[in-house]
Structure 1
């Protein structure tokens, strides 16, 4: 396989519509996503795509102390993953990590960028982390490269975003003209609001965030959950003597999955844990060398306990094997926030009841949307989860085509 084939490609999406909802995101981004996914689908192997959305998502007076509105960010990420899921179903493209031929492993990344910001001609980007996991355009250009293809949107805003990125990324990678691909854009509406614009309510961040799941054949629903949890992390400032923020992820043990449908195709706990950490590395790791060496994150692997650190030791990801519905939420008192999906919201209530019995503080519970696998294009909080994106469906597909058993 050619070296370029294993590199991810980049789709730069311009500023989202206002308001952000299912219909407005679909109108704005569907044509661009469809073009990029169609280009990357190939019968000879898997492809990877980073979907970077430029948006003024962070607020705060100082670079190193930022905050965001988690509900708005979650809706944006969920909406884009929802469109990707539906398009991949229509185009017969696999969505899971390491999905093999005709699959595209897509990751949505939010880039803090103000359309009115201008960079001086002599500006040179440098990696500047802040108190969140979201980075600005200059930092993104410094740490994310090289690419197979760079897709830009054929519109005024799309041109502005791509030109800004290419200016900041100058010298990071030698690009052929064939690697720069222009794709159609959609219709972006911004509705005028009465009175002075007000900032959305900003969400608290936390030094310890937890969530749980099986994470079998990591797919867009898992990626949304993991991204949403990462957005809640309170990342210490560079040079701050505070301990790293902790992202604790409970991953269901193999024994609990033996009665799952198509259980013989369930991935091992170790493979599922590694895939979680490798996915999060795309959101959390920042290096002036980019990913050109193809090195994987350094993982300290013990039985049922995988740990990795990112951003010069300021973020720790801890994957633990769980054998019950509670996992580390009732064994680690200093967890502050729990992320659930609409499907598992009752579990959040049960966790807090159990913690109350132990005399511990309740967790702040954050709920992400459930991605619908049907062609309704809807990321939803519906109580009917029959059509959601599922690992079971992926295992069933592998069984149908006689895929390798785990």
Structure 2
């Protein structure tokens, strides 16, 4: 993240069902207000970071340590939010890739679990601490994510209720001035059926080793969705377990990118890998020190590999250089799942064919939703082609044009 403190936008649970139209109706006004304020304040300065935290019943399970979730539902909510952010920033011409410089707003979505209300006699304070997933509850979020520059919240009843509950658990971690609490326009909640916990949805078996690949040049919203969705598949062991879960990320080597459009603006491999770790620290890192110190353990010892360890050694992230279409999927046998986008679906099938030839078990393939401007009421030319505006090629082109 940048040198200034990040800001927080607290969002109450999404409408049900969480269609793209309903998500836009509920979340576009507060997102646009928060992004616009930060953008106006960063003109001529380093960019701002905005962590968007929708707080909703996403995990299921009576045990504080053992939880389950519906991966499809969780990634769909994140994809919907990033889709709304993409359209807003295309309209306002605001860069959202990491370390994009003056006037940019680096938006990062972090899902926060919140149990459904219980009868008064059974209400208890949520436990502070991680579970077997990468998703944490509101108390743990408050304990690990601080201090903030601003805390934005919607101007409606669910927004005020969420802020009140959050500030109670934030006590002791940050003392806020009134000017840091910013009320923004609240959207309309379109509910056709009552909210359900994740337990009412199909559960997803979590995996010990998850893999994905890409160029990750000028890490943008599509990359953020892919990385977050893949991380949510990790089965996080208890502290002190003999081995961590592994998130293996193949990052295209520099040699393979020399023929890309505007190749002179492609970021070097080390920078792309470090940006991935920077982003994932927002999703994976937990410390009561908050942003107070660099908490991750980062290793650059091996050539062509960057390793970072999070959550007291229970999560290991490996960024490895790839020089072909398969990357680590055909050099590392012990893998469980491969995460792809619609663009890389064919590559995922090719990986499994190659692993079959090697006599290795095939990987279960998970596909993330595409970023979609569906639900944007006023479809200007800027929003209609917003998907091209957030591509790495479009970002490089913009940089080339800005430099003449």
Give the structure-1-normalised TM-score. 0.91
Tell me what 1:142 maps to. 143
Equivalent-residue separation in structure 2 for 1:119 and 1:255 (angstroms): 61
Q: Which residue of 1 aligns with 2:20?
A: 22
Does residue 163 of structure 1 match 2:188? no
Contact map agreement 1:86 1:374 (CA 8 A) in 2: no
- Displacement of 1:54 in angstroms is 0.4
Q: Name 1:297's counterpart in structure 2.
A: 296
* Count, aligned residues: 390
The equivalent of 1:67 in structure 2 is: 68
**Structure 1 119/103 Cα, relative in aligned 2: closer, same or farther at 3 Å?**
farther
In structure 2, relative to structure 1, the CA distance for the partners of 1:219 and 1:119 (3 Å cut) is farther
> Residues 284-323 of structure 1: matches in 2 within 5 Å?
284-293=284-293, 295=294, 297-301=296-300, 302-323=302-323
1:217/1:267 contact within 8 Å kept: yes
- Whole-angstrom distance in 2 between the partners of 1:337 and 1:130: 20
Equivalent in the alignment of 1:35: 33
Shift of 1:110: 0.4
Higher helix fraction: Structure 1 or Structure 2?
2
Does the aligned pair in 1 maintain the 2:67–2:131 contact within 8 Å? yes
Alpha carbons 1:78, 1:371 under 8 Å: kept: yes
Deviations 1:374-399 (Å, cap 9, x if unpaired)?
A: 99699xxxxx9973731000000000
User: 2-side partners of 1:331 and 1:323: how far apart?
Assistant: 12
Structure 1 22/160 Cα, relative in aligned 2: closer, same or farther at 3 Å? same
Closer, same or farther: CA 254–118 of 1 in aligned 2, 3 Å:
farther
Quote the offset at 1:5 in angstroms: 6.9
**Residue matched to 2:113:** 112
**1:381 alignment partner in structure 2:** none
Q: How far 1:90 sits from its partner (Å)? A: 0.7
Name the SS of the counterpart of 1:65 in structure 2: coil
CA contact (8 A) 1:248 1:319 kept: yes
Structure 1 residue 124 displacement after superposition: 7.7
Offset at 1:61?
A: 2.1
Alpha-carbon distance in structure 2 between the residues aligned to 1:285 and 1:358:
36
Contact 2:60–2:199 (CA under 8 A) maintained in structure 1: no
Q: Is the 8 A contact 1:333 1:360 kept in 2?
A: yes
Structure 2, unmatched stretches of 5+, are: 380-384
* 1:238 CA displacement: 2.9
Which residue is equivalent to 2:382? none
Q: What is the rounded CA distance, in whole Å, between the counterparts of 2:119 and 2:273 in structure 1?
A: 41
Query: Could you tell me how far 1:198 is from its partner in structure 2?
Result: 7.4
Instruction: Output one character per residue of 1:318-373: Cα deviation in whole Å (capped at 9) or x when no partner.
Output: 00000001001111111000000001100110000000001111100000122257
Residue 236 of structure 2 is matched in structure 1 by: 235
Paired position in structure 2 for 1:11 = 9
The answer to whether the 8 A contact 1:13-1:52 is kept is yes
What's 2:324 paired with? 324
Cα 1:373–1:189 change in 2 (3 A) is closer
Conserved? CA contact 1:371–1:389, under 8 Å: no
Q: Take 1:333 and 1:286, find their aligned partners in 2: how far apart are those partners?
A: 30
Unpaired runs of 5+ residues, structure 1, are 379-383
Q: Is the 8 A contact 1:372 1:388 kept in 2?
A: no
Q: Distance in 1 between matches of 2:192 and 2:311?
A: 38
Residue 305 of structure 1 and its aligned partner are, at CA, apart by 0.5
**Corresponding residue number in structure 2 for 1:226:** 227
Matches of 2:137 and 2:148, distance apart in 1:
19
1:1-400 alignment to 2 at 5 Å?
A: 6-41=4-39, 42-43=42-43, 44-116=45-117, 127-192=128-193, 199-239=200-240, 241-293=241-293, 295=294, 297-301=296-300, 302-372=302-372, 387=388, 389-400=390-401
Q: Is the Cα contact below 8 Å between 1:373 and 1:387 reproduced in 2?
A: no
Say if 1:198 and 1:252 are closer, same or farther in 2 by CA, change over 3 A.
closer
Distance 1:385 1:256, change over 3 A: farther
Verify the 8 A CA contact 1:252 1:323 in the aligned structure 2. Answer: yes
Report the TM-score when normalising by structure 2.
Answer: 0.91
User: In structure 2, do the counterparts of structure 1 residues 61 and 386 end up closer, same or farther at CA, with 3 Å as the change threshold?
Assistant: closer
- The answer to whether the 8 Å contact 1:127/1:286 transfers is no
